[in-house]
Chain A
């Protein structure tokens, strides 16, 4: 599992971070950082939930 974020689309509203804080972090500078680009399978449900919840559908799992 690999995470790809379209950073142009990201609005830094931190919804993904609330769902999967170990993977997504919106920092003080206002930008989103992907902490683990290839998370373990055990994180898959959370990452999928985060991707589905993103308003602009900026997160893709490949």
Chain B
């Protein structure tokens, strides 16, 4: 009998897991289960090219095919899993039995209390959200963006110039400083301002969306701003709620499913997790790390496929992420710890690298508009992490 691998979540992590399984020689049945009815697609263009209207929806669809035996169950949600019996129950009251299962259910936006998504309040995660926002970009429109993390900052940058006004709000004085450090956070703020994005940082924000009014209000203790559309990007939460009834599984403090350094979930047989829903033990950091980026997701998909097929794995990779705003590029490698001491290095010309030091190690780095310095930064992090303590 051929084995069956069920994959829950049909986006980047799920589709790539299926592709990598075939690449690694898995010839059993692959069942890909996903809540969204689109073919598997990727999200980075949702805050960039798709939003700006420079590329069509089809361009987001992931490329390549999966060879038979392969089936897709799209538009259905997994509602529970029984890791002992090895089956998954779906929202259409059917069950899928498996020999192996990969969880790739990603993450969902954190919502403001009492501010549900509406035609003018957008939490950006899916194609529909991006298209809904894109269709409202008109020269007379005022847009408020709440949360200057990766997604909020990218949205503000993408829509500036296409609408009358863009204001970016964040409760933090230095948004994104947890990931890029205060220096680059300040740099980004200046870049935003020079490109027509107004910034209101360091004040708590509340949102009032009342049916009786033509506008949505964003309020800080000292100001009140009216907007036609409000975009909220205050972070995401791993979509693991449906797994919570299984007592043997373990989750980290944000709700990501914990797994070993090969992606095998603790407390279950033949169960794996990749992408935004996961927190893997990272051998270089010797702790569990939860990453919400493209590169980690595809690396994890490849590692899980190798694990399932008993194929030798590659050496562990450092987390890597990129963000583009106003034509400026920030790339990060590794992680920035909460107690990081940042070292700002001006390399040749205007190239800027920030090294993140913590406990006598360089745990990560950020590179500003200088992709050619990335490999140098990466090498600095890797050699420091691999060095034995004195």
A interface residue numbers (CB < 8 A to B): 6-9, 11, 15, 30, 49, 52-57
B93 at the interface (CB under 8 A from A): no
Question: Is the CB–CB distance between A53 and B372 below 8 Å?
Answer: yes
Given the complex of chains A and B, what is the CA–CA distance between A30 and B322 in angstroms?
21
Residues of A contacting B80 with CB < 8 Å?
A: none
- Residues from 36 to 95 in B contacting A, C-beta threshold 8 Å: 42, 44-45, 48-49, 55, 59, 62-63
Given the complex of chains A and B, what is the CA–CA distance between A6 and B48 in angstroms?
19
Question: Is the CB–CB distance between B320 and A57 below 8 Å?
Answer: yes
Given the complex of chains A and B, what is the CA–CA distance between A32 and B44 in angstroms?
18
Q: Is the interface of A mostly helix, strand, loop or mixed?
A: loop
Given known contacts A8-B63, A30-B55, A55 and B372 CB-to-CB distance under 8 angstroms: no
Residues of A contacting B205 with CB < 8 Å?
A: none
- Range of interface residues on B (Cβ < 8 Å): 20 to 34
Question: Is the CB–CB distance between A55 and B324 below 8 Å?
Answer: yes
Residues of B contacting A53 with CB < 8 Å?
A: 371-372
Closest 4 CB pairs of A and B: A53-B371, A55-B329, A7-B63, A52-B375
CB distance from B41 to the nearest CB of A (A): 9
Given known contacts A8-B42, A57-B320, A52 and B294 CB-to-CB distance under 8 angstroms: no
10 contacts between A and B (CB under 8 A): A8-B12, A8-B63, A30-B55, A52-B375, A53-B371, A53-B372, A54-B371, A55-B329, A57-B320, A57-B374
CB distance from A29 to the nearest CB of B (A): 11
